[in-house]
Structure 1
Amino acid sequence: MKELASKLLEMNIGSVRVQEPLSSHTTIKIGGPADLFIEPSSIENLAKVMTAIKEAGVKWTAIGRGSNLLVSDKGIEGAVIKLGAGLDHLEIDGTKISVGGGVSVVSLAMAMSRKGLSGLEFAAGIPGSVGGAVYMNAGAHGSDVSKILEKAHVLFEDGAMEWLSVDEMEFSYRTSVLQKKRPGIVLEAVFQLKEANKDEIIAEIKKNKDYRKDTQPWSSPCAGSIFRNPLPEYAGQLIEKAGLKGHQIGGAKISEMHGNFIVNAGNAKAEDVLALIEHVKATIQDLYGVEMETEVEIIGRI
């Protein structure tokens, strides 16, 4: 791994660090070290990184802003690639926008509202990156990424880059083709928005942001929604009905504000969160016969 790190540093592809603590890169502030942590400075350099990783036979994992993510206390084997400042471009062509995978979804929604472009209002409170949002078909308030995406530029693990149409992304509830069938990194996305009244868009964004602020514990370290909604039921409502609000294991606690959020109440470990997840699953299964599936992505060494 040190040899690969030295090679990447010589290539001047961006930031390269060894044994970087991933607790510094997740919104729940949990996670052991990455063997190798890379933040490429451009799409071109990311492609070079992937080529070098492939040649070295090293496993890789991509992250964005670290929301919807629980990293093992033992960290992640191989290389962790963070989509950040090097993939933050934005181009606007009428109602169509091309945006880098490292751009903040919240910032993008606000920027588009000021230009009178509608379609991203639902995303105003989603604390992740564009790449992550496309990867998992992020959604809220009755809409999601699949409703506005035209195509996504994806880098696959063999180093190939390809544009996938919205149909080729095979979107479903919080899922895309990139999660299992064709692992890859979303480099950029093209969204089709529409013109609308600027004041109305801004008002809708404020309403959505206020709703999140009032009902979800984003002022505390958390990863977002832990469970998928077992429709027609809602995960948070089932957990609250089961009397699990406030239940705590180690430093991990089910939020008092929203049953589908687990917060880091102080020095929580991934094993605490996982134990709490299993407790919720067992309780809901016993009480209501409903099988709960996690929405948060759990990665790293077992």
Structure 2
Amino acid sequence: MRQRLEGEIKKRLQLLCEGEDLRFDEPMRGHTSFRVGGEADAWILVQDASKAKELLIFLEKEKVPYFITGNGTNLLVADQGYRGVILCTAGQRQPIRVAEDRILAPAGASLAAIAQEALKASLSGLEGAAGIPGSLGGALCMNAGAYDFEMKEVTEQVSALRIGTSTSSHPSGEAEGREGGETERERVRQVQLSGSEMAFGYRSSIARKQKLFFISAQLRLTPGKPEEIRAKMEELALRRKQKQPLEFASAGSTFKRPAGSFAGKLIEEAGLKGFRIGEAQVSEKHCGFVINRGGASADEIMQVILAVTERVEEKTGIRLETEVIPLGF
């Protein structure tokens, strides 16, 4: 296991983050929707792109491990925490702007807030996003979607910081320092990516291959009738309430949809409805959700995920992939 941050690194982070929300030894259970997770060596609420660039240059140069997150709604942090720095984009508080049929929003804005702005402007296209709990940045990273909606349908242009030139990255999304011939500032460049350049796929994007810190995105929507947009949002909200275990902490759908089937269906057919280890459980309401009943550990949640994956593969030959990103395991 990696050692905790050295004193000199901490001092330099404090200087870099003067006036920013920097916390050392920060419990991650307060920053994930699973409500679990040990301490991160440092957690920083990043306010703007210039500060993000400074931090990324420093962390790359010093080879300090770091992880970029939004609202933590798709993240499972280990009980032992994370030996490195968490950069949280949710601190980006620039206003959400509407211009004709387009919305420009900071990566830290919640999808729900952006959807509400679209409703106010009588713009259709984000009804399916209204109930997704994550941030815009997280949604771009994984091409978030629900109820026949995906981010790729509305994303026109994305502004981001690209770290390094490598197209490979840690499978969990972790971005670490690297050596090379580039100057320090060349390692972190601001780029503009079109929707097609984002290379969206099912629950994936170019951010799964390249290290990117999202700054903002321009979304293109369709003019509509506010009463119809509102009615659709309310309909989908009711469906979520009826079919999803919203009363428990979770990271939403735990598993990706396998080709030709549904994860929840395969899990239920494998006899795992209500399967439980400690306070972690396969939801009885929707088998595609692993929930924290209250007091679960990250290890218990991971054990349930692994048990489900193995049992379903034994029964069907299909190996489920997780939407949830494990960190620190």
Give the TM-score band, short-chain normalised.
over 0.9
Q: Which residue of structure 1 lines up, in the alignment, with residue 181 of structure 2?
A: none
Secondary structure of the residue aligned to 1:102 is coil
Query: What CA distance in whole angstroms lies between the structure 1 residues aligned with 2:74 and 2:30?
Result: 15
Q: Does 1:175 align with 2:204?
A: yes
Give the conservation status (yes or no) of the 8 Å contact 1:4–1:52.
no
**Which of 67, 73, 76 in structure 2 is aligned with 1:70?**
76
Amino acid at match of 1:61: F
Q: Which residue of structure 2 lines up, in the alignment, with residue 3 of structure 1?
A: 8
TM-score (norm 1): 0.95
Query: What CA distance in whole angstroms lies between the structure 1 residues aligned with 2:94 and 2:253?
Result: 25
Deviations 1:202-222 (A, max 9, x none): 111111111111111122111
Matches within 5 A, 1:272-287: 272-287=300-315
Secondary structure of the residue aligned to 1:224 is coil
Query: What CA distance in whole angstroms lies between the structure 2 residues aligned with 1:279 and 1:9?
Result: 42
TM-score (norm 2): 0.88
Unaligned runs of 5+ in 2: 164-186
Give the conservation status (yes or no) of the 8 Å contact 2:248–2:292.
yes
Q: Which residue of structure 2 lines up, in the alignment, with residue 288 of structure 1?
A: 316
**Which of 108, 113, 119 in structure 1 is aligned with 2:114?**
108
Secondary structure of the residue aligned to 1:230 is coil
Amino acid at match of 2:282: I
Q: Which residue of structure 2 lines up, in the alignment, with residue 239 of structure 1?
A: 267
Query: What CA distance in whole angstroms lies between the structure 2 residues aligned with 1:43 and 1:122?
Result: 28
Amino acid at match of 2:91: A
Q: Which residue of structure 2 lines up, in the alignment, with residue 166 of structure 1?
A: 195
Matches within 5 A, 1:97-246: 97-157=103-163, 158-179=187-208, 181-246=209-274
Task: Give the superposition deviation at 1:277.
Answer: 1.2
Q: Which moved more, 1:71-80 or 1:133-142?
A: 71-80
Task: Give the superposition deviation at 1:81.
Answer: 0.4
Q: Which residue of structure 2 lines up, in the alignment, with residue 254 of structure 1?
A: 282
Query: What CA distance in whole angstroms lies between the structure 1 residues aligned with 2:126 and 2:325?
Result: 23
Give the conservation status (yes or no) of the 8 Å contact 2:98–2:121.
no
Q: Which residue of structure 2 lines up, in the alignment, with residue 298 of structure 1?
A: 326
Secondary structure of the residue aligned to 1:225 is coil
**Which of 281, 288, 293 in structure 2 is aligned with 1:265?**
293
Give the conservation status (yes or no) of the 8 Å contact 1:114–1:202.
no
Give the conservation status (yes or no) of the 8 Å contact 1:13–1:45.
no
Q: Which moved more, 1:21-30 or 1:108-117?
A: 108-117
Give the conservation status (yes or no) of the 8 Å contact 1:13–1:40.
no
Task: Give the superposition deviation at 1:246.
Answer: 1.0
Task: Give the superposition deviation at 1:9.
Answer: 2.9
Give the conservation status (yes or no) of the 8 Å contact 1:36–1:80.
yes
Secondary structure of the residue aligned to 1:207 is helix
Secondary structure of the residue aligned to 2:286 is coil
Query: What CA distance in whole angstroms lies between the structure 1 residues aligned with 2:27 and 2:192?
Result: 33
Matches within 5 A, 1:19-34: 19-34=25-40
Q: Which moved more, 1:192-201 or 1:55-64?
A: 55-64
Q: Which runs of 4+ in 1 moved over 4 A?
A: none
Q: Which residue of structure 1 lines up, in the alignment, with residue 21 of structure 2?
A: 15
Secondary structure of the residue aligned to 1:154 is strand
Q: Which residue of structure 2 lines up, in the alignment, with residue 41 of structure 1?
A: 47
Secondary structure of the residue aligned to 1:160 is strand
Structure 1 68/242 Cα, relative in aligned 2: closer, same or farther at 3 Å? same
Coordinate RMSD, CA, aligned: 1.4
Give the conservation status (yes or no) of the 8 Å contact 1:117–1:198.
yes
Q: Does 1:93 align with 2:99?
A: yes
Amino acid at match of 2:203: R
